[in-house]
């Protein structure tokens, strides 16, 4: 079975721009979570979606938003990019909201 | 506040030597506990998990971890390290009655180097 897939793999943006990152979960998984990993640190929780509804949100500004589609794929949007948004953005999927999370390869975002 | 501490930022071991990576957590109740590994430029791969039951859990690639409630620890071990084990290792805690959502809280990570 295919694992979690994310696109694009790399992205370069300038300050003030907007970006959309995409994630496809493992087949049969209904929950998607997003994490931000800044260089040298552990991943930080941004959002969790389950059955197309937001079920958890981390300590991130309103510039960050997400949604989940009927096929359980998900998008993460970040508006008004700042230099500090440069990071590896990881998507994880799980069968249910509180079940084991499996991670994708990530999207590396560089904001100049 | 819920937190995870990995006291060792960087560890170097010789190939064939044993390994123990430390993880301590602060939580209101027994959480779900995980170890993930991340190779450079890659996502996270699940090594093992503890939900309940036997406190010694076996994972992939010959890794094991032991949950010690009295010490709030979940240390990762491997009896003989291979060069391919060089990577960054993350301990994480997951849902409990204090964290109803699916949020994982990660430690800062321990970078493992393996010398020939």
Whichever domain contains B66, its CATH number is: 2.60.40.10
Return d(Cα B52, Cα A12) in angstroms, integer.
43
pLDDT tens per residue across span A26-41: 999 999 999 999 998 9
Mean pLDDT, chain B, rounded, equals: 91
* Residues from chain B contacting residue A103 (CB–CB below 8 Å): 36, 43-46
List the single best residue of A5, A37, A101 to mutate versus B (max B Cβ within 10 A).
A101
Give the pLDDT band of residue B11 (cuts 50, 70, 90): very high
| Residue A110: inside a domain | no
| Closest residue by Cα to residue A111 from A4, A29, A39 | A39
| Residue A94: inside a domain | yes
pLDDT tens per residue across span A63-88: 999 999 999 999 999 999 999 999 99
B24-26 vs A10-13, strand pairing mode: unpaired
pLDDT tens per residue across span B35-92: 999 998 788 999 999 988 889 999 999 999 999 999 999 999 999 999 999 999 999 9
B14 vs B28, higher pLDDT? B14
- How many structural domains compose chain A? 1
| Residue A111: inside a domain | no
φ, ψ (nearest 5 deg) of residue B99? -145, 80
Give the pLDDT band of residue A42 (cuts 50, 70, 90): very high
List the single best residue of B21, B38, B43, B90 to mutate versus A (max A Cβ within 10 A).
B43
Range of the domain at B16: 3-115
pLDDT of residue B101: 64
């Amino acid at each position: 079975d295919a694992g979690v897939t994310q696109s694009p793999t790399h992205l370069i943006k300038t300050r003030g721009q907007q970006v959309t990152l995409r994630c496809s979960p493992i087949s049969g998984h209904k929950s998607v979570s997003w994490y931000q990993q800044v260089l040298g640190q552990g991943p930080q929780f941004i959002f969790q979606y389950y059955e197309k509804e937001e079920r958890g949100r981390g300590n991130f500004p309103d510039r960050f938003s997400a949604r989940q589609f009927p096929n359980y794929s998900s998008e993460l949007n970040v508006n008004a990019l700042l230099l500090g948004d440069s990071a590896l953005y990881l998507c994880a999927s799980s069968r249910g909201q509180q079940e084991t999370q499996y991670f994708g390869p990530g999207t590396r975002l560089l904001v100049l | 506040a819920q937190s995870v501490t990995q006291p060792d930022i960087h560890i170097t071991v010789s190939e064939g030597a044993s390994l123990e990576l430390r993880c301590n957590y602060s939580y209101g109740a027994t959480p779900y506990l995980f170890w993930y590994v991340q190779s450079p430029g890659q996502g996270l791969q699940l090594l093992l998990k503890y939900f309940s039951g036997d406190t010694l859990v076996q994972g992939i690639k010959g890794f094991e971890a032991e949950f010690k409630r009295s010490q709030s620890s979940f240390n990762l071990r491997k009896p003989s390290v291979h060069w391919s084990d060089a990577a960054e290792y993350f301990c994480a805690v997951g849902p409990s009655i204090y964290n109803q959502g699916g949020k994982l809280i990660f430690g800062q990570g321990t970078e493992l180097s393996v010398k020939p």
